Chain A
Amino acid sequence: MLQILRRMKRPDVFRALSALLFISLQVWLDLALPEIMSTITRLIITPGSSLREVWSCGARMLLFALGSGAASVAVGYLAARISSNFSYSLRGEVFSRVSEFGAREMKSFSTASLITRTTNDITQVQLLISMGLQVVVRAPIMAVWAILKIVGKSWQLSLVVAGAVLLMLCVILFLMRLVLPRFRIIQHQIDQVNRIARENLTGLRIVRAFNAEDYQMAKFDRASAALMKTQLYTSRRLAVLMPFIGLSMNVLSLAIYWTGALLINGIAPVSAEAVAARISLFSEVVVFFTYAMFVVLSFMMLVLIFMMLPRAQVSAGRILEVLSTSPEVREGSGAHPLEKGTLSFRHVSFRYPDALRDCLHDLTFEVRSGETVAFIGATGSGKTTLVSLAARLYDATGGKILLDGKDIRSYTFRQLSERIALVSQKAVLLSGSIRENLTFGNAAAPFTAQDCERALDISQSLGFVSSLQDGMDAHVAQGGANFSGGQRQRLSIARALARKPEILIFDDSFSALDYRTDAALRRRLEEEMKGTTRLIVAQRIGTIRHADRIVVLEEGRIAGIGTHDALMRECAVYREIALSQLSRAELEVG
Chain B
Amino acid sequence: MQRRRQRIPEKPRDLKASLRSLLAYCRRNLGVLLFSLLLAAASALLNIVSPRLISRITDQITQGLASGIDMGAIAATGSLMIAINLSSAFFGFAQHALMAGFNQRLSRRLRGDISGKINRLRLSYFNFHEYGDVLSRVTNDVDTIAMSLSNSLASMVSSAAQFSGCILMMFLTCWPLACTSLLSVLLSLVLISRLVKVSQKHFVSRQVSLGSLNAFIEEMYAGHDLIRTSGAREQVRSRFDAYNEAVRGATFRSQFLSGLMQPMMAFAGNLGYVSVCVAGAFLAMRGQITFGVIAAFMIYVRQFQSPVQQIGQSMTNLQSAAAAAERVFQFLGEDEMEDDSGRPRRISRVRGEVIFRNVRFAYPDKPDRPVIRDFSARILPGQKVAIVGPTGAGKTTLVNLLMRFYELSGGEILIDGISIRDLSRAEIHDLFGMVLQDAWLFEGTVRENLVYNLPHADEAALREACRSCGLDGFISALPQGYDTVLDDNTAISAGQKQLMTIARAMLQNRPMMILDEATSSVDTRTEQLTLTAMDRLTRQRTSFVIAHRLSTIRNADLILVLREGDIVEQGTHEALMAKGGFYASLYNSQFEQAVSSGESPDAAKE
Contact = CB atoms under 8 A, between A and B. Distances in A.
B436 A512 contact: no
Contacts of B390: 486, 514, 516-517
A250 B221 CA distance: 53
A76 interface: yes
B273 A37 contact: yes
A101 B220 CA distance: 12
A580 B275 CA distance: 97
Interface stretch (B23-31, B373-381, B409-417, B493-501): B493-501
Interface string A124-147: 001000100000000000000000
A247 B89 contact: yes
Contacts of A384: 493-494
B297 to A, nearest CB: 11
B101 interface: yes
B100 interface: yes
B232 interface: yes
Contacts of B499: 379
A148 B496 CA distance: 73
A572 interface: no
Given A80-B259, A204-B123, A246 B47 contact: yes
Given A211-B453, A247-B88, A92 B241 contact: yes
Interface stretch (A62-70, A156-164, A175-183, A362-370): A62-70
B465 to A, nearest CB: 15
B548 A210 contact: no
B419 interface: no
Interface in B483-537: 487-489, 491, 493-496, 499, 501, 508, 514, 517, 520-528
Contacts of A123: 140, 210
A239 B391 contact: no
B234 to A, nearest CB: 7
B476 interface: no
B58 A286 contact: yes
Interface stretch (B128-136, B166-174, B569-577): B128-136
Contacts of B58: 257, 286
Contacts of A77: 256, 259
A457 interface: no
Interface stretch (A7-15, A166-174, A522-530): A522-530
A449 interface: no
Contacts of A212: 452-453
B188 to A, nearest CB: 12
B171 to A, nearest CB: 21
A393 B227 CA distance: 11
Interface residues of A, number: 194
Contacts of B288: none
B226 A424 contact: yes
Interface stretch (A336-344, A395-403, A475-483): A475-483
Interface in B118-163: 118-120, 123, 126-128, 130-132, 134-136, 138-140, 143
Interface in B396-411: 396, 400, 403, 405
Contacts of B392: 464, 484, 486-487
B92 A242 contact: yes
Contacts of A265: 64, 68-69, 71
Contacts of A216: 115, 119
Interface in B46-65: 47, 50, 53-54, 57-58, 60-62, 64-65
B361 interface: no
B38 interface: no
A298 B333 CA distance: 45
Given A54-B278, A436-B1, A421 B523 contact: no
Contact of A119 (B213, B223, B229, B396): B213
B82 A193 contact: no
Contacts of B247: 87-88, 91
B108 A539 contact: no
A95 B237 contact: yes
A334 interface: no
A5 interface: no
Given A194-B135, A265-B69, A87 B586 contact: no
B281 A54 contact: yes
Interface string B192-236: 000000000000000000100111011111111111111111111
A544 to B, nearest CB: 10
Contacts of B60: 261
Contact of A440 (B128, B235, B274, B598): B235
Contact of B65 (A33, A193, A264): A264
A44 B222 contact: no
A391 B227 CA distance: 12
Given A80-B252, A485-B517, A228 B266 contact: no
A478 B222 CA distance: 10
Contacts of B501: 206
A211 B586 contact: no
Interface in A360-382: 376-381
B595 A73 contact: no
A221 B112 contact: yes
B224 A515 contact: no
Contact of A115 (B107, B218, B487, B593): B218
B210 to A, nearest CB: 7
Contacts of B68: 265, 269
A57 B273 CA distance: 12
A562 to B, nearest CB: 16
A431 B231 contact: no
Nearest to A101: B224
A393 B225 contact: yes
Contacts of A359: 491
A590 B115 contact: no
Nearest to B390: A514
A215 B452 contact: yes
B453 A490 contact: no
Contacts of A225: 108
Nearest to A262: B71
B206 to A, nearest CB: 10
B342 to A, nearest CB: 15
B237 to A, nearest CB: 6
Nearest to A573: B525
Nearest to A64: B270
A276 B604 CA distance: 122
A91 to B, nearest CB: 6
A513 interface: yes
A581 B425 CA distance: 38
Interface string A396-439: 00000000000000000110111011101110101110001000
B442 interface: yes
Contacts of A220: 111-112, 115
Given A119-B217, A242-B96, A352-B491, A193 B139 contact: yes
A231 B592 CA distance: 64
B224 A580 contact: no
Contact of A586 (B65, B105, B252, B595): B595
Contacts of B295: 41, 45
A235 interface: yes
A432 B220 CA distance: 12
A198 B225 contact: no
Nearest to A88: B248
B131 A478 contact: yes
17 contacts: A80-B252, A99-B220, A106-B224, A119-B136, A120-B139, A190-B139, A200-B119, A247-B89, A250-B50, A261-B74, A379-B493, A393-B225, A441-B231, A475-B4, A513-B391, A514-B548, A541-B594
10 nearest A-B residue pairs (beta carbon) = A417-B231, A486-B391, A379-B495, A441-B230, A76-B259, A515-B590, A243-B92, A239-B96, A441-B232, A65-B270
Given A80-B251, A269-B65, A542-B591, 10 more contacts: A58-B277, A69-B263, A83-B251, A99-B233, A110-B487, A235-B96, A261-B57, A282-B65, A428-B226, A511-B548
